[in-house]
Amino acid sequence: MPDWKQRLYRTFEANGQACDVDVLEELSTHAAAAYDTLRAQGRDASEAERRVDDLIDVWVREAADLHRRPKRASSIPPPAAGGVPLAGLMQDLRYGLRLLGRQPGFAAVAILTMALGMGATTMLFTVVYGVLLKPLPWADADRLVRVTETRQGRTGRVLGTVSNGTFLAWRDHRSTIEDLGGWLTQTATLTGAGDPVRVAIIPTTPSLFPILRVRPLIGRLFNEGEGARDQPGLVILSYGLWQERFGGRSEIVGHLIQFDDKPYSIVGVMPREFAFPDRETRAWTAWSVPPVTGKGGVLVGVIFRAMARLRDGTTPAQAAAEATSRARSAPDMGLAARALFGAVGAIDVSAVPELQAITADVRPAILVLLAGVALLLITATANVASLQLTGATTRRREMAVRAAIGAGQRRIVRQLVIENAIVGLCGGAAAVALAAGLQRLLPSLLPAGFPRLDAVALDMPVLSFAAAVSVLASVACGLLPGWHTRRVNLVETLSENGVAPIGGAMRSPIARTRTLIMAGQVAIACMLLVGAALLTRSFVSLIRADRGYDPVNVLTGRLPLPPAYPAERRSQLLEALLDRLRVVPGVTHAAYSTGLPLVSSGGFSAFNMRSPRNPDAEIEVQAIQRFVSPDYFPAMRLRLVAGRTLSDADTAATPPAIVVNRTFARQYLGDHPLGFHIPQRGPRAGGLRFTDEHADCEVVGVVDDMRQDSVDAPLQPEMFAPFKQIVPASIGNFDPILVIRTTADPTTYVSILRGLVHEQAPALALDSVTTMEDRVMTSLAKPRLYAVVLVWFAVFAVLIAGVGLFGVLSFSVAQRTREIGVRSALGAQVHDIVALVLRQALWIVGIGVLFGLAAALAGVRLLSTFLYGVSPHDPLTFIVVPIVIVAVAVIACLVPARRAAKVDPLAALRAG
């Protein structure tokens, strides 16, 4: 069979007629079909061929009409002129999807950028909402206030507490509040329910549960008056403990368990969702606040946490005023108050909404991070808008044609917004997935003790927020290019050839907008980088800070002793343990103490003594008081300032000796602290009974100050007394802390330590065994987290700015090809061309950095509360950050600059 297509083509050509390929193909199928039919009708091949050739001749004669013309514009539905707003929405949506499908690279970059920005924002918002905004899980929780007492402006030794004097005085005469509840925090060994286990328990006043408006799952709550010292112990179990230890049996009420060997009768179980004050708490025991005047007129001082429920219509300020006035008329706690508050003087009580009180610690940091993430989101959105603007430049023809065939401004903008909404929603969905993933990791990312972690969830408010952010971001991205199409002129756009006039690269409004966006992105990257650098430097300063002791190569652990453990037996056990430890190879010093920085202060003492400066005057002393074994000083590497440290020679047979710290010496002892005698007799709070009861104790040495918790907390006066000289029973119950200095990695000694304890006392188990360095790092978990998060934000912002700059410059080089060609033709060298690109980049970066640094200078005020050892206006940071930004900019310039240098002037001019 002949090749009809070939024949048609040749015949048309021979007659000087041209024909569309499409039409040619259609005619050839017709010719072939006609030929087949003729053959089927029995004609011979030459006859059939002749007849079809006749047909072709007819077509050639009519060739003028054989053209398929494009469909008329009327086949595009005209824009809905404001009538039906959603008409054509599906069409726009389909078009948008097709468009994105055609540019997978652009779609991926845009969606990824948005996902990153919105993912980080959504994640942080889950934390903001869950921790700071979500109401507490109690009924009318906005009427719950946390009560805190200060004396002469000083808070209790345990932050956020009240004294028993204040609590009782207010509770007995209250009018602004419904009731007041108080609680302590403790850990205790639970026995009588499976293997012994250390658990966190909360001794609480019976009034606390009614304040929270909660009911037990089974059994009952505590009744008013229960929990007094002479009454049998009562306990309410948490749901978790009930399930784990009692298999969720309902006949549990009345069952006995022991905490630290004291029996407690189970009265109820709380529901699964009940957690107070946190999820770690496994049980609540009945406790009553002791009166200030105890048996035999002894003054009793206790500090603990307290919460009140406001009466309807009263404000926290009214409650605080009432509490303050009641506290000031409460019985004087004397020296106990000074020991507990470090001051005696005017009492002030504050009442702060509970939600605010428990989040006060993290609120400023979360808000700063939220500001950081908002900047990141802005820069991510700006990046997508900038990409869209490039698209808008290349799509000007499309927009112009659409406008010419009747698409209104609103329709075109709507199309752009819809395209961006697709990007935004994809980004939003990816962001929610990202946030969901991160949220699972959250408990391991956030430091222990971060408040309200269990309230952090991807719930409706958070999802609505994510949806709102993605819609807003997409609208913002779409409106910008849409706004630029306002002025699209059909004739101009269609007649220009897509190449900018010489020197015109920055003159078009789109180019100017992109430059502005770019400068803004550089500014944001600059701000975030300054913040990240400051927090990182501050964190490094915190690690390197002089704490007064050396945490390297020190292993520590607590040895919980049952309250019934005999005091004499305790000393024997500890001394035997030290003897065994000292001979372990690699152990240089082993000691025990009642207190250790970052673990426990040990105890407080307050007493009066004559002034060393003026023997006639009496001064009021308050200090941290700890009992130590002699090796405590070398084990912690405390620096000796004067005299000597305690030694094994200080025994019950020698005169009582104490060592004080530099602050104690400066505050109370004057210039010659050594040899000063501190009286044992006279009223005092905080037991310190030497075996020689009548002798004064002599200050034998002064050591440098030691930071107890955070390095920026005020220094406290401290006294160290040797265990061997103290009447064991006078120390009371305490859990000794073991301190071991090693020559090698201290973690390798953990099993040895545990083994030795087990050997000496098989019934006892070590608690919280960890290195001193780990304790320091744990205490820095929050600053580290804030620094790490901000560093990530800054890295992303710099990356986004780098990619954005690359995009702007590449586009600009492409647009200026002709200009570059002309310049080369006129004699510009490669380095001139590269300089041209670099100049443009540095101009953008310069403006961005300038504004970024100015904004950072104004904004670092917000950061100043988080900074340690570095000024908010740290010169190094403000010098290095611009250098980093410029370095990134130069890297972003390399490829576009190379491309510009490679422009062939001939090709460029011909193309122009």
Partner 1 sequence: MVTSLLERELKRGSTEVLILALLDERQRHGYEISQLIEERSNGTITFHTASLYPTLYRLEEKGLVDGRWVERAGQRRRRYYRLTRAGRKALAKQRSTWDTFFLALDRVAGVRHA
Asked if residue 575 binds partner 1 (CB under 8 A), the reply is no
Asked if residue 27 binds partner 1 (CB under 8 A), the reply is yes
Specify the residue, 2 or 912, whose C-beta has the smaller distance to partner 1.
2
Peptide bond into 882 cis (omega under 30): no
Helices (H), 637-769: 662-664, 728-731, 750-760
Asked if residue 71 binds partner 1 (CB under 8 A), the reply is yes
d(CA 499, CA 815): 5
Q: Which of 2, 9, 24, 32 binds partner 1 (CB under 8 A)?
A: 32
E-strand ranges in 246-324 read: 256-259, 262-269, 281-286, 303-310
Judged on CB neighbours under 10 Å (0-12, 13-18, 19+), 589 is buried
Specify the residue, 33 or 228, whose C-beta has the smaller distance to partner 1.
33
Asked if residue 72 binds partner 1 (CB under 8 A), the reply is yes
Asked if residue 61 binds partner 1 (CB under 8 A), the reply is yes
Asked if residue 34 binds partner 1 (CB under 8 A), the reply is yes
Specify the residue, 30 or 898, whose C-beta has the smaller distance to partner 1.
30
Strand partners, 677: 698
What are the backbone dihedrals phi and psi of residue 593, each rounded to the nearest 5 degrees, phi first?
A: -160, 165
Asked if residue 101 binds partner 1 (CB under 8 A), the reply is no
d(CA 109, CA 422): 13
Specify the stretch interacting with partner 1 by CB under 8 A; choose among 60-68, 216-224, 430-438, 526-534: 60-68
Asked if residue 68 binds partner 1 (CB under 8 A), the reply is yes
Specify the stretch interacting with partner 1 by CB under 8 A; choose among 41-49, 55-63, 596-604, 764-772: 55-63
Q: Which of 21, 62, 491, 694 binds partner 1 (CB under 8 A)?
A: 62
Query: Closest separation between CB of residue 90 and partner 1, Å?
Result: 17
Query: Closest separation between CB of residue 3 and partner 1, Å?
Result: 12
Q: Which of 16, 42, 70, 714 binds partner 1 (CB under 8 A)?
A: 70
Asked if residue 75 binds partner 1 (CB under 8 A), the reply is yes
Assess contact for 7 and 54: CB atoms under 8 A: no
Specify the residue, 66 or 777, whose C-beta has the smaller distance to partner 1.
66
Query: Closest separation between CB of residue 27 and partner 1, Å?
Result: 7
Could you count the other beta carbons within 10 Å of the beta carbon of residue 563? 12
Q: Which of 9, 17, 24, 30 binds partner 1 (CB under 8 A)?
A: 30
Would you give the distance in Å from CA 651 to the centre of its chain? 51
d(CA 418, CA 471): 10
Q: Residues 6 or more apart from 633 whose CB is under 8 A from it?
A: 640, 645, 646, 659, 703, 720
Specify the residue, 66 or 727, whose C-beta has the smaller distance to partner 1.
66
Could you count the other beta carbons within 10 Å of the beta carbon of residue 307? 24
Specify the stretch interacting with partner 1 by CB under 8 A; choose among 54-62, 240-248, 320-328, 449-457: 54-62
Query: Closest separation between CB of residue 59 and partner 1, Å?
Result: 6
Query: Closest separation between CB of residue 401 and partner 1, Å?
Result: 18
Asked if residue 24 binds partner 1 (CB under 8 A), the reply is no
Helices (H), 213-362: 239-246, 316-328, 335-341, 354-359
Query: Closest separation between CB of residue 28 and partner 1, Å?
Result: 9
Q: Which of 67, 249, 507, 910 binds partner 1 (CB under 8 A)?
A: 67
Asked if residue 23 binds partner 1 (CB under 8 A), the reply is yes
Asked if residue 459 binds partner 1 (CB under 8 A), the reply is no
Q: Which of 41, 74, 329, 497 binds partner 1 (CB under 8 A)?
A: 74
Specify the residue, 55 or 857, whose C-beta has the smaller distance to partner 1.
55
Asked if residue 87 binds partner 1 (CB under 8 A), the reply is no
Assess contact for 98 and 329: CB atoms under 8 A: no
Could you count the other beta carbons within 10 Å of the beta carbon of residue 558? 20
Specify the stretch interacting with partner 1 by CB under 8 A; choose among 65-73, 346-354, 675-683, 781-789: 65-73
Specify the residue, 13 or 26, whose C-beta has the smaller distance to partner 1.
26
Asked if residue 46 binds partner 1 (CB under 8 A), the reply is no
Residue 457, CA distances (Å) to 278, 454, 462 in order: 17, 8, 8
Specify the residue, 30 or 899, whose C-beta has the smaller distance to partner 1.
30
Specify the stretch interacting with partner 1 by CB under 8 A; choose among 62-70, 378-386, 390-398, 432-440: 62-70
Specify the stretch interacting with partner 1 by CB under 8 A; choose among 25-33, 318-326, 436-444, 542-550: 25-33
d(CA 408, CA 77): 12
User: CA geometry: angle at 233 spanning 227 and 236, to 5°?
Assistant: 85
Q: What character string, x for contact with partner 1 (CB under 8 A) and - otherwise, covers 591-620? A: ------------------------------
Helices (H), 252-313: none
Assess contact for 744 and 683: CB atoms under 8 A: no
Asked if residue 487 binds partner 1 (CB under 8 A), the reply is no
Query: Closest separation between CB of residue 48 and partner 1, Å?
Result: 14
What are the backbone dihedrals phi and psi of residue 225, each rounded to the nearest 5 degrees, phi first?
A: 95, -15
How many residues touch partner 1 under the rule CB under 8 A: the total is 25
Helices (H), 213-254: 239-246
Asked if residue 65 binds partner 1 (CB under 8 A), the reply is yes
Specify the residue, 36 or 492, whose C-beta has the smaller distance to partner 1.
36
Structure tokens at 727: 């009447």
Specify the residue, 71 or 694, whose C-beta has the smaller distance to partner 1.
71
Specify the residue, 66 or 567, whose C-beta has the smaller distance to partner 1.
66
Asked if residue 329 binds partner 1 (CB under 8 A), the reply is no
Asked if residue 25 binds partner 1 (CB under 8 A), the reply is yes
Specify the residue, 27 or 581, whose C-beta has the smaller distance to partner 1.
27
3-state secondary structure 477-533: HHHHHHHHHCCCCHHHHHHCCCCCCCCCCCCCHHHHHHHHHHHHHHHHHHHHHHHHH
Q: 């849409």: which residue's tokens?
A: 482
Judged on CB neighbours under 10 Å (0-12, 13-18, 19+), 471 is middle
Asked if residue 59 binds partner 1 (CB under 8 A), the reply is yes
Q: Which of 1, 18, 33, 405 binds partner 1 (CB under 8 A)?
A: 33
d(CA 657, CA 725): 8
Specify the stretch interacting with partner 1 by CB under 8 A; choose among 33-41, 375-383, 585-593, 840-848: 33-41
Structure tokens at 230: 């002479």
Q: Which of 2, 51, 55, 445 binds partner 1 (CB under 8 A)?
A: 55
Specify the stretch interacting with partner 1 by CB under 8 A; choose among 21-29, 245-253, 255-263, 622-630: 21-29
Query: Closest separation between CB of residue 2 and partner 1, Å?
Result: 14
Element (H, E) at 126: helix 104-127
Q: Which of 17, 24, 51, 66 binds partner 1 (CB under 8 A)?
A: 66
Structure tokens at 530: 């300054």
3-state secondary structure 398-456: HHHHHHHCCCCHHHHHHHHHHHHHHHHHHHHHHHHHHHHHHHHHHHHHCCCCCCCHHHC
Assess contact for 604 and 158: CB atoms under 8 A: no
Asked if residue 220 binds partner 1 (CB under 8 A), the reply is no
Could you count the other beta carbons within 10 Å of the beta carbon of residue 70? 6
* Ranges within 492-551 binding partner 1 (CB under 8 A): none
CA atoms within 13 A on the CB side of 571: 17
Query: Closest separation between CB of residue 22 and partner 1, Å?
Result: 8
Contact residues for partner 1, defined by CB under 8 A = 23, 25-27, 29-30, 32-34, 37, 55, 58-59, 61-62, 65-72, 74-75
